[in-house]
């Protein structure tokens, strides 16, 4: 399956009389956009634009998306959500690169995030470096939280689809080609290189801890095989409300760096076979079932190595270690990508579960580390939830608007796909 990603580099996003893409600038007719995303469950929808370096704090952030549109090939980006569940991952897709659609709303309160467009907090989120079209969604009185989440999720998806259509006939600034052949052909293509598969753990642990595959709640699936290009074409979207630091937003799924890096090394020092997606479960029985099927699927692919990434912490650590232990028992080497909750002093146990076979681990950082965030001249959304957001605490918000919080509260700070801005120094 071959996919051509055609990147259009966005220079700016502005409101205008007509929605169009012109000379690298995305112009948005605000009223037309609002009409496109209106929902009777939402009492108020406001749209704003923020840019890197702005003295702006955005809170509480729900999801981040990137506009992509099919120009050739089957299906549509975000299949299964708008009446079409055809396979994606082939053909040509135009991407508006450098901008996002960013949704904001007080849904759960304690499991949304903060994005600072400038200052020290900006160093911990990739979305301080993008031009963001921000959509604030307030629910009607009495609406249950799970319906508010769905309304905000769909508003973000509709807005992203609306904006992406502006790029359908655009000439790309950059074209990237990715290909994975049918399994038997792929295995034979580089017989002398180690075969590697990516086990992609998706957050599915209860109400509003949802991820969707072709529009289906991943809680309902058994582990399955995907072409990597399907992920790039929007086959996976985020619907969850979990700690901001290691939530995989829809943007993260579209731009998964594990997939990008494996493609970059494909045919050079490894043979990238594909992706196994699996869920993260609540009960022990469900964890055992999914990890058994994950290990069986990996074994059937005949690979030599596996990279496993998780989403979330605590309970999902058990799924991570089960997957690791069972795959290693088959003689297949694993590398785990996670983050740590090691306490503010870094002295606590980093993961809720462990095993001697988990001996190759890449860390996204310690989510409990404290940071001081200065006041911003403008807040989009609501600053009050910063004291109850995971990573916040009573007294975190000062009278002048400054914050002392754990980086857990910053969207993408310790992302477990490695999509973050931290690294390690060796002394």
Per-block average pLDDT, block size 10, for the chain (427 residues)? 97 97 97 96 97 97 96 92 89 98 84 93 96 96 91 96 97 97 94 97 87 94 97 95 90 97 97 97 94 97 97 92 97 95 88 91 93 96 88 90 94 93 70
pLDDT of residue 186: 95
| DSSP code per residue over 345-398 | TS-S-SSS---TT---EEEEEETT-EEEE---SEEEE-SGGGGTSBTB-TT-B-
pLDDT of residue 109: 64
Determine which helix (DSSP H) or strand (DSSP E) holds 213, and give its type and residue range. Answer: strand 211-213
Nearest one of 321, 306, 398 to 354, comparing CA atoms: 321
pLDDT of residue 39: 95
- Please give the positions annotated as active site: 241
Angle 273-414-368 from CA coordinates, rounded to 5°: 145
Residues ≥6 apart with Cβ < 8 Å to 143: 41, 151
Write down the pTM of the prediction: 0.95
Task: Report the distance separating Cα 116 and Cα 59, nearest Å.
Answer: 9
Task: Report the distance separating Cα 245 and Cα 247, nearest Å.
Answer: 6
Phi, psi of 99 (to 5 degrees): -130, 160
Let me know: does 63 contact 238? Beta carbons within 8 Å. yes
pLDDT of residue 286: 94
């Amino acid at each position: 399956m071959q996919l051509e990603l055609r990147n259009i580099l966005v220079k700016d996003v502005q409101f205008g009389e007509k929605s169009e893409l012109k000379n690298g600038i995305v112009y948005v007719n605000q009223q037309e956009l609002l009409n496109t995303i209106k929902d009777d469950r939402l009492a108020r929808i406001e749209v704003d634009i923020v840019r890197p370096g702005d003295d702006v704090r955005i809170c509480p952030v729900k999801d981040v998306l990137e506009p992509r549109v099919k120009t050739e090939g089957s299906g549509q980006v975000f299949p299964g959500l708008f009446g079409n569940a055809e396979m994606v991952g082939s053909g040509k897709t135009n991407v508006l690169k450098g901008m996002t659609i960013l949704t904001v709303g007080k849904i759960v309160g304690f499991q949304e995030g903060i994005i600072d467009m400038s200052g020290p907090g900006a160093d911990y989120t990739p979305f301080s470096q993008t031009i963001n079209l921000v959509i604030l969604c307030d629910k009607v009185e009495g609406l249950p939280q799970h319906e508010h989440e769905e309304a905000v999720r769909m508003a973000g998806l509709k807005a992203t689809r609306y904006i992406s259509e502006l790029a359908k006939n655009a000439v790309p600034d950059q074209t990237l080609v990715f290909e994975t052949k049918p399994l038997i052909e792929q295995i034979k293509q580089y017989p002398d290189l180690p075969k590697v598969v990516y086990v992609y753990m998706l957050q599915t642990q209860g109400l509003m801890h949802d991820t969707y595959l072709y529009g289906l709640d991943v809680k309902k699936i058994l582990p399955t095989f995907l072409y990597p290009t399907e992920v790039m074409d929007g086959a996976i979207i985020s619907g969850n409300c979990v700690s901001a630091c290691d939530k995989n937003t829809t943007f993260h799924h579209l731009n998964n760096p594990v997939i990008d890096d494996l493609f970059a090394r494909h045919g050079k020092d490894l043979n990238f076979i594909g992706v196994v997606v699996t869920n993260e479960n609540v009960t022990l029985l469900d964890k055992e079932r999914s990890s058994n099927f994950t290990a069986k699927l990996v074994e059937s692919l005949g690979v030599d190595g596996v990279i496993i990434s998780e989403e979330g912490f605590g309970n999902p650590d058990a799924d991570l270690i089960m997957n690791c232990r069972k795959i290693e028992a088959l003689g297949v080497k694993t590398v785990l990508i996670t983050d740590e909750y090691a306490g503010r002093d870094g002295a606590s146990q980093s993961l809720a579960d462990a095993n001697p076979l988990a001996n190759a681990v890449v860390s996204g950082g310690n989510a409990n580390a404290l940071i001081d965030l200065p006041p911003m001249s403008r807040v989009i959304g609501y600053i009050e939830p910063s004291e109850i957001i995971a990573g916040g605490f009573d007294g975190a918000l000062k009278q002048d608007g400054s914050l002392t919080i754990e980086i857990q509260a910053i969207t993408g700070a310790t992302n477990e796909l490695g999509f973050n801005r931290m690294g390690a120094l060796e002394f």
